[in-house]
Structure formats: structure tokens, C-alpha cells
Amino acid sequence: MGEREASNSCVDFTPAPTPISQSSSEAETSPASEVQWRPVVGSFRLALIQLQVSSIKSDNLTRACGLVRKAAAQGAKIVSLPECFNSPYGTNYFPEYAEKIPGESTQKLSEVAKECSIYLIGGSIPEEDSGKLYNTHPGTVSYIPQFADYFFKIDSPRPKTNFYAWATKFQLHCMCAPKCAYCRVGLGICYDIRFAELAQVYAQRGCQLLVYPGAFNLTTGPAHWELLQRGRAVDNQVYVATASPARDDKASYVAWGHSTVVSPWGEVLAKAGTEETIVYSDIDLEKVAEIRQQIPIFSQKRSDLYAVEAKKP
Amino acid sequence: MGEREASNSCVDFTPAPTPISQSSSEAETSPASEVQWRPVVGSFRLALIQLQVSSIKSDNLTRACGLVRKAAAQGAKIVSLPECFNSPYGTNYFPEYAEKIPGESTQKLSEVAKECSIYLIGGSIPEEDSGKLYNTHPGTVSYIPQFADYFFKIDSPRPKTNFYAWATKFQLHCMCAPKCAYCRVGLGICYDIRFAELAQVYAQRGCQLLVYPGAFNLTTGPAHWELLQRGRAVDNQVYVATASPARDDKASYVAWGHSTVVSPWGEVLAKAGTEETIVYSDIDLEKVAEIRQQIPIFSQKRSDLYAVEAKKP
């Protein structure tokens, strides 16, 4: 008998905040802007940049940074750019648009993140490395020294069928105050959202927010974009967010748009249309704990019957 | 780069049909009605009985059997009853309504399944066994001798918080013809649908249809009933069906209704309202193979990074 709400078994799955250790040298390098951060109890603002990507790389970078500044001015503490935000979407464009990492684009992301005192999830950019092309998640650049220059390379196991983004493990600690962990964010790109196991591993590891920069198309977008986000959210009782490029009907690959934030209950909290915009949502970590108490699926999984196992730390 | 459809890598995940071995004695006991079965290539009809459950047990049984006959007359080969179909929904009713298994209810189900030459998924009934009460899936009774009397007891690990239905492993082979396997069905009850791992194990084991007799309530119903079904379907690229009791606004537990069939693409193929009815849908196994070829998530899972593992055979 399923859907009587359990009342008296509490799931304490949400990990206790663990301070990020800071060596004295790291503390010394913390910028002055850090003091403007106010301690936040269980809540912070997320922003998703639904960028209208043009064919001019420098213009994409400039406008992306401008929107990041705008989001930060609205109080966003974590900001995500979309997949392939500095280049038109398509492998045929990659030889021209690919760059080294670190390189021009990551340098600019790092600068704007430091300037705004935010965590910036860099979506993805085409990368050239040793003669090969990648759709690379440029990690998350921030003003916290230990997280700067954390890049996340995504390999391409299927060159003949086009390449896909594959997430491996990735965890970002976000801070609300210098010695207080904010939340854990699990990251994937686009197609990764189809793999339930990745989200399950993230949840096991304490993520309360999953962010997928991605660009579904006009077939899979209406069919699965929102469904997959809501499914990941309700199955793992986490917030789920997606950041898509804005739609360009003249492009060779037309992105679905509709960047979205979904609550751990599976509700759509905020959703863009198809045009360039910024999506904001306040992420309330107490909501995660509340829902996990209300429907205690984590404590009631039958580990004697099945388990999702991560193969790498 | 996620949502370019892969074109040239085929997932041959769907297991090849394997004949169900029949000993000569089994063949001899096959009823005459078997000859009316026509060989079906990859497609068969499913029916879900959304029964209006009353407080009169014998009436529930009689009407359930009547609707099963009606569904069979419409060509259904697999028919599912809802959770708790012979008793009002609630543990307080169980001492009065519980019975032994095998017993009166399972005997009637077995008879009507044989009469109609169908596979009948018995939803659930309250069971008394050794002084304890259970919400028991009475298995699937059919006219095929080797599958008759296959009962599926569901334990109750949380008596203090109310009891929940827990599925363990269960696989049903359905036949379209004496020597041709039809499809594999994974079964769970109600709350089981919240556990992604169960569905993932079923998919690994070759199930192409998951059936969840269940009764969500008026809170979780609108929030999650359809979402969970669509999520299980698209994540595992299987058909998913739910069979709920019809809604009774005067009952102490008001079931959501809305028995549903969802395609492996995540589309709602058929959906009841809240009243007593039969939901029909044709299950096309070629559609399963087609979608698995179109979006080959099974062959592209990163088994080097994660795995869903069944702990029992």
C-alpha cells in the first residue's frame, strides 16, 4: 500500500555542512569582495543564462559575461551558462571554434566569476587538445582559489555517430560563507540527463542540486526535456536545472531552449521560453530535507535487493 | 552534445524470444481454449481494470471477474486488476477482509483466467498468514499450468508507519503461442514505482512492460502518478502501466484513479478518468526495439563508472 505518507521515519540523507578547508595561503588570497557574501541559511539563488549564441565567438563571450554580471547583480550565487555557449552547435563548427583549455574563454569566465564573487558553471565549449576535438565542460570557475581552473573534460566515445557528452564524477562545493559548505552540485551535459545512474550516484554523494547545461532538439525537446528533469528531481529528491542556448530557427541545429529549474517534488519552479533570457530560482535546501522526510525513499530502498554502485570514487 | 539522434549503433537489448519449454505432461494439460490464440508478431492487447471497490467483498470479486471477461472479449491477452481490489483500501479493513492464499479470491481469479485464456495480474489483496496481515500480490494466474498459483507475497517492513508494498524480483513470461514467448512483465505495487532501481533491474532482465497496480492519493496522484510512469518508461525504454481502483470520494482513503499506459517514448497512450472503466492499449514490442535503436542509452551506459546491480537472482 503505497502512498500513505510515512510520518515518523526521518531520512537524514542530507549531509551535514562540512567546512571547506582553507589553508592560510588560500585565506590570504580571498578577494575583498568575499565580505559582501552574507551567510545564508539553507537558501541561495541560482541563475541560468539562456544565451542567444551567434557565429561570432568574441560576441558570445562578451554577451555571456554581461548576462553573468546581470545575474549576479540580481543576487545569484551560482550561475550556469548553456552547453556550447561560445560556438554554433554542431561538430562541423568545432575545428574553427575550438580552443585550448585553459584559454581565452576560460580566462574570461574566470575573470567574470571573480569580479562577481559567484560560482560560474561554464556550460561547455569546443576544445582542441592534441589534435582532437572535445565538447568540454570548462568546469566551474570561481573566486575561491581551490576551485579555480577545475576543468572537466568530456570524452567522445562515438565519433561516427556524432559525439556525446559524458559526465563522470564531478562535485562542486559551493560556499555561502568562507567556512560553510553551501550545497553539492552534480553536473552533466545534455544527453547525460538520460542516464539515471549518474543522477543516482550524485544523490548518493550528497548532491542537492543537479545542473545540466544542454541543448535538446525540436524532437527530443518537447518529448523529454522537462520529463527527464522532473524525473531526476523526484527520483532523487534534488533540485534539477538545465541551461539551454536560446532558440535560433536559422541554425543548422535548432536548440529547444526552455531552460528550467525543477524542485525536489518535481514541480517546475521557473522555465524560460525560447528567447535569450536569464532564469532565476531560489534553491531552498530545507525543502530537500523536508521532502526526503515526507517520502523517505532513501531510507526505504531495499539494499538487499538492488544497489546503484559507483565504480570510481 | 546530447540530442543528435544516434543513427548507426543498434542496441539489441531486447532479448530474442525464447520458447517456454513445455513438458509433454504440460502440453497435455493445456486447455482446448488454447487453440483460439492466434500467433501475434510483436503486439498484444493489455487491459487495466479500474474497479470501483465496494465494502462487499463478494461483490468486488464478482464485478472484477465480469470486467475481466469483458476485457478478454475485447481481445486483451494480459489483464491487470488494481491494488486492493477486493477490500476497501486501508489497514483498518484488513483484519476483516484478509484471507488465506490460495483462497477464495485467488481461486476465482484462477478460474476466470482459465475461462478467458488470459494472463491475469491479480493486483493485490489483503492476506492473513500466520497471524500477520499482508498486502499481497496474488501473482498472475493463467491457464498455463506452469504459471498457475504463482503467488507473490509482499512483506511489510514498516508496520509503525503503515505498510508499504515492496516488490522483489518477479518475472512473468507471457505467451502469444505455445512455443513463443510474448514479453516479460515486471511487477510492482504502488509505492514500488518510486524506486527507480527496481525498474532498472527489470529492464536489465529483459522486461518490456512494467505493471504497477497501485492507489496513489489525492496529494501524490496529481504530483507524481503520471510523472513516475513516464519517467520509468523513458529511462528504461519500456511500456509502463498502472491499475488503480476507481475513485470513491466517500472512502477513508480516496484513490487517485487514472489508470494509465505509457509508451517506451514516454507518451501517455491511454488513461482513465476517475470512474470505473477498462483501459486498453496495444503493446507493440517492435516499438521497444525501435526506440532503443533510436536513443541507444542501454549500449551507451558507462558501466566503467556506475552500475545498477541486483543482489538476488
pLDDT for the residue B44: 92
Q: Which residues of A touch B295 (CB under 8 A)?
A: 194, 220
Chain A closest-CA separation from residue B208 CA (Å): 18
Q: How many CA atoms lie within 13 A of A209 on its CB side?
A: 30
pLDDT for the residue A313: 64
The answer to whether residues B101 and B129 touch, using CB atoms and an 8 Å cutoff, is yes
Of the candidates A2, A230, A306, which has its C-beta nearest B201's C-beta? A306
d(CA B3, CA A212): 13
Instruction: Encode pLDDT of A242-293 as tens digits.
Output: 999 999 999 999 999 999 999 999 999 999 999 999 999 999 999 999 999 9
On the question of pLDDT at B170 being above 50, the answer is no
Amino acid identity for residue B9 in this structure: S
Chain A closest-CA separation from residue B57 CA (Å): 18
Cross-strand bridge partners of residue B164: none
pLDDT for the residue A52: 98
More confident residue, B263 or B173: B263
Of the candidates B197, B228, B234, which has its C-beta nearest A306's C-beta? B197
Q: Which residues of A touch B195 (CB under 8 A)?
A: 297, 301-302
The CA-to-CA distance between both ends of chain A, in Å, stands at 37
pLDDT for the residue B158: 28
Chain A closest-CA separation from residue B122 CA (Å): 15
CB within 8 Å of B250: residues ≥ 6 apart: none
> Looking at residues B278-304, what average pLDDT do you find?
91
Q: Which residues of A touch B190 (CB under 8 A)?
A: 1-3
Chain B closest-CA separation from residue A123 CA (Å): 11
Q: How many CA atoms lie within 13 A of A188 on its CB side?
A: 26
Say if the Cβ atoms of B305 and A311 lie within 8 Å.
yes
pLDDT for the residue B90: 82
Q: Is the dihedral of CA A224, A226, A230, A232 positive or negative?
A: positive
Instruction: Encode pLDDT of B63-114 as tens digits.
Output: 999 999 999 999 998 899 999 999 998 878 888 999 887 789 988 988 888 8
On the question of pLDDT at B120 being above 70, the answer is yes
Categorize the per-residue pLDDT at A239 as very low, low, confident or very high, splitting at 50, 70 and 90: very high
Q: Which fold has domain A45-300?
A: Nitrilase/N-carbamoyl-D-aminoacid amidohydrolase (3.60.110)
Categorize the per-residue pLDDT at B171 as very low, low, confident or very high, splitting at 50, 70 and 90: very low
Q: Which residues of B touch A242 (CB under 8 A)?
A: none
Q: Which CATH class is domain B42-300?
A: alpha beta
Interior angle at CA B182, CA B179 and CA B185, nearest 5: 135
More confident residue, B226 or B19: B226
**Among A64, A53, A118, residue whose Cα is nearest residue A90:** A53
Q: Which residues of A touch B216 (CB under 8 A)?
A: 2-3
Instruction: Encode pLDDT of B180-218 as tens digits.
Output: 246 778 888 888 899 899 889 888 888 889 999 999 999
Instruction: Encode pLDDT of A146-201 as tens digits.
Output: 333 333 333 332 222 223 333 222 333 332 222 224 677 888 888 889 989 988 98
The dihedral over CA atoms of B3, B4, B8, B12, expressed in degrees to the nearest 10, equals: 10
The answer to whether residues A273 and A241 touch, using CB atoms and an 8 Å cutoff, is no
> Looking at residues B37-61, what average pLDDT do you find?
84
Categorize the per-residue pLDDT at B173 as very low, low, confident or very high, splitting at 50, 70 and 90: very low
Please tell me the least confidently modeled range out of A179-188, A232-241, B123-132, B293-302: A179-188
Alpha helices in chain B (DSSP H): 24-29, 57-73, 94-97, 104-116, 196-204, 220, 226-236, 285-294, 297-300
Say if the Cβ atoms of A197 and B227 lie within 8 Å.
no
Of the ranges A30-34, B4-8, B28-32, B36-40, which is most confident? B36-40
Of the candidates B223, B228, B302, which has its C-beta nearest A166's C-beta? B302
Categorize the per-residue pLDDT at B250 as very low, low, confident or very high, splitting at 50, 70 and 90: very high
On the question of pLDDT at A299 being above 90, the answer is no
Instruction: Encode pLDDT of A34-51 as tens digits.
Output: 333 333 457 899 999 999
pLDDT for the residue A138: 67
> Looking at residues A198-208, what average pLDDT do you find?
86
Categorize the per-residue pLDDT at B40 as very low, low, confident or very high, splitting at 50, 70 and 90: very low
